[in-house]
Chains A and B, each alone.
Chain A
């Protein structure tokens, strides 16, 4: 091998570039790509001074960025950064302006990915700086394809910022950059690049729909996704085609969650199944995991909680194994499913199973800041512990939920907790405390105009007062 490389280092370089292109559609090949470039760079024929060395290092850095994307392991990002810094030492801007710009572009990509995972604005700012530096050398007239690629990258960066902030100005900037990219990326000349930007535009509109509920945004998203699917053909670019199917599935699932329209659910499941088939074929566990997560959400909305749980568990296992950044999202889905199923189990009298699920749900909510959702789970735990006779746990949970609801000013939640505490205190024989809690609950329900709950609380108050009268007598 070593001798062969010595004779034909350019040929080996080309072979590795080919493998790297293949890996874009088959993520499981990335480790082989890294290994290939490492072997290549270790050979004496590619020692310091070889013209092939800097681009080889740049390609290795690219492969590391992709592995960071796939596995989420920061070590890959750190390695990519070191390699790109190394290349910048060898390829100065004055001597190699185009190559320098390529490295800046790749650094932009790396920082954008770090921002996607961390939400750290400093990473976003660094990404933008590197993208803009690349544009200083990539002129639209001289290097249109590369210029368009950076425009696309900036579009993606602003989309992520919009996802985090909801700031419409970020969405507008993202759209502007995508449209600029499309001015160069023509469907006939560069169908894959055109489709990529169509897909990203679809994602931007889908996020806008998610925030606003504006159906025009959903329609625009669907239009762009469909355009992308037409350009990516299943046979030619199965991985990319499957990713768009997944995005389409997510969009339909969002529409279904908002509208409850079963035709949207059916379309979502169809898109997910199309995506799943490809992901399984090419061993893309991240995509598979994401699609299972989407299926879990659809079944959760449909009330098919057992299937939702099964899909959610599958999704978590796959995303955990692949180190995907979206693991947190899948955990949130799992927390919602476990919460709903936990409530269902309480109703069915499967109390221990309910405790198990609700504890799992709580463990996820404890990592986040959705205090209302967290309080909801704690309230259900209080209920089930009360039913199990674990009165102390029930009491502690009711009071924990109450504190959180007071903080979030959730009046219905406060009233529910006070009702639960009142019931518990009657059971424990603390009648005065029970009456105090129930009277407060009744007042809140009066303010909310919830007649049904007022009647329930008044029944309990009658019981408590009866006990008190007997005690006095």
Chain B
């Protein structure tokens, strides 16, 4: 048995001792299957009550779901689409995370085409874009065998050149027409617009206005500030409903943690919240501390939960005591700072934020910027946003400033406790 085999087996045994089949946490809901999502999705009752009744009506709607990164927009959208798939059989629901450099028309076209595996034209569109169709596209080509004049026009498989659709919105409309011949309603969810520059998103929305106001329903996800404010003030009319997802309250976070843990327990071992061993290997106290530290942000709960479990297993702990939990938090800090893709410039910016507690376009000084070899806040803005994506920083919900501070996942400037929010 190799060392790697031994380590793997040890982790499995520890998880099994805790009554868990695997580590249940996941950074993004897009990694979960429909059934897993159903098991862990928690809360958002009020928001679901706003959205779901719309689908009982006939009038097409455009819905914007917005909130900070990691707040659960993807999970919310996937849950809505899941409900539609289960309850509304006449609805075709398609989901896509907006690919980098793609326009909304292309994204919608890809999402819809992937949902229409039996439609040859849809699959041909995917093939043209170099994407893997469910059924391989075949181009019929005339071929005359030498010496047998006039005989043998046959189909041959040929390599189809990869090209982007010239008019993606029009291609989407054509495909939509075909889809609407089979379904009463087509819902397209385009996720992750908040991973793009807000000004670029505005351009994308402006360019896609015709498509968005066409025959399909759309659910888009976006930025917590900037974009939404701009859209709501300027593009009023583009969305019928804009729902802001906020941080979960503590009881809901607590329930979410329980749901995650139960999702990897044997059915007969699933526990209720009032069971003293409900959160095992967490104690009620450490479960509570974990939830508090997650600050109501599902992604932070998932990341912290995952790191804490790994560290606890590494320590051979029978239960996650406060001491083990602290080790887990330190491990999370270490892992987050050591994520691949971070450059020295990113660390300098992170250090500045940790040093100043909050860095914003209003309060940053020229000497602060010069320390980072910059002279404009705009120059470090892409780094700040990158650090948000890496869960090292959070954008503060201040409307008249672009302000950042460290997430509660990051401990202090070098060592010691992280600040409590």
A residues in contact (CB < 8 Å) with B: 352, 366, 371, 374, 378, 385, 388-393, 395-397, 399-400, 403-404, 406-407, 425, 428, 430, 433
Contact = CB atoms under 8 A, between A and B. Distances in A.
B52 to A, nearest CB: 32
Given A378-B376, A399-B361, A400-B378, A393 B199 contact: yes
Given A388-B202, A391-B229, 9 more contacts: A374-B375, A389-B233, A391-B230, A396-B377, A396-B381, A400-B361, A400-B376, A403-B375, A406-B366
Contact of B199 (A388, A404, A433): A388
A428 B230 CA distance: 10
Nearest to A406: B366
Residue of B199, B226, B364, B381 ringed by the most chain A CB atoms within 10 A? B199
B28 interface: no
| B-side interface size class | 20 to 34
A92 B364 CA distance: 61
Nearest to B399: A428
Nearest to B234: A389
Contact of B202 (A378, A389, A395): A389
Interface in B223-266: 225-226, 229-230, 233-234
25 contacts: A366-B375, A366-B376, A366-B379, A374-B375, A385-B199, A388-B202, A389-B233, A390-B202, A390-B230, A391-B226, A392-B229, A395-B361, A395-B400, A396-B378, A396-B402, A397-B378, A399-B361, A399-B362, A400-B361, A400-B375, A400-B376, A403-B369, A403-B377, A406-B366, A428-B400
Interface in B68-106: none
Interface string B134-165: 00000000000000000000000000000000
Interface string B200-240: 00110000000000000000000001100110011000000
Contacts of A428: 229, 399-400
Given A390-B202, A396-B378, A399-B377, A430 B402 contact: no
A425 B362 CA distance: 13
Contacts of B225: 392
Nearest to A429: B399
A393 B197 CA distance: 10
A373 B365 CA distance: 19
A156 to B, nearest CB: 34
B361 A396 contact: yes
Contacts of B362: 399
Nearest to A425: B400
B418 interface: no
A404 B377 CA distance: 11
B289 to A, nearest CB: 35
A403 B400 contact: no
Contacts of B381: 396
Nearest to A430: B400
Contacts of A374: 375
Contacts of A389: 202, 230, 233-234
B234 A393 contact: no
B198 interface: yes
A352 B364 CA distance: 28
A407 B366 CA distance: 8
A123 B344 CA distance: 32
A341 B235 CA distance: 28
Contacts of B377: 396, 399-400, 403
A390 B198 contact: yes
A384 to B, nearest CB: 11
A433 B377 CA distance: 20
Contact of B400 (A400, A404, A407, A433): A433
A366 B202 CA distance: 26
- 4 nearest A-B residue pairs (beta carbon): A392-B226, A389-B234, A400-B376, A396-B361
A332 to B, nearest CB: 17
A392 B198 contact: yes
A400 B376 CA distance: 5
Interface string B342-366: 0000000000000000000110111
Contacts of A385: 199
Interface in B363-388: 364-366, 369, 375-379, 381
A403 B366 contact: yes
A220 B299 CA distance: 73
Interface in B162-208: 198-199, 202-203
Nearest to B367: A407
Contacts of B233: 389, 391
Contacts of A403: 364-366, 369, 375-377
A350 B400 CA distance: 27
Residue of B203, B377, B399, B400 ringed by the most chain A CB atoms within 10 A? B400
A436 B198 CA distance: 28
B400 to A, nearest CB: 5
Nearest to B379: A366
Contacts of B198: 390, 392-393
B139 to A, nearest CB: 39
Contacts of B400: 395, 425, 428, 430, 433
Contacts of A388: 199, 202
Contacts of A425: 400
Contacts of B229: 391-392, 428
A177 B414 CA distance: 61
A407 B367 CA distance: 10
A342 to B, nearest CB: 16
A397 B198 CA distance: 14
Nearest to A424: B400
Contacts of B366: 403-404, 406-407
Nearest to A433: B400
Nearest to B364: A403
A83 B365 CA distance: 51
A159 B415 CA distance: 56
B79 to A, nearest CB: 30
A106 to B, nearest CB: 38
A161 B130 CA distance: 58
Contacts of B375: 366, 371, 374, 400, 403-404
Contacts of B364: 403
A392 B234 CA distance: 13
B43 to A, nearest CB: 29
A392 B222 CA distance: 15
Contacts of B234: 389
A421 to B, nearest CB: 10
Contacts of B230: 389-392
Nearest to A434: B400
Contacts of A393: 198-199
A367 to B, nearest CB: 11
Contacts of A406: 366
Contact of A390 (B199, B365, B376, B378): B199
A76 to B, nearest CB: 30
Nearest to A389: B234
Nearest to B400: A430
B382 to A, nearest CB: 12
Residue of B225, B362, B376, B378 ringed by the most chain A CB atoms within 10 A? B376
A361 B399 CA distance: 29
B374 to A, nearest CB: 9
A448 to B, nearest CB: 23
Contacts of A378: 376, 378
Contact of B402 (A371, A395, A404, A433): A395
Nearest to B225: A392
Nearest to A397: B378
Nearest to B223: A392
Contacts of A390: 198-199, 202, 230
Contacts of B202: 388-390
Nearest to B376: A400
A352 B203 CA distance: 10
A437 to B, nearest CB: 11
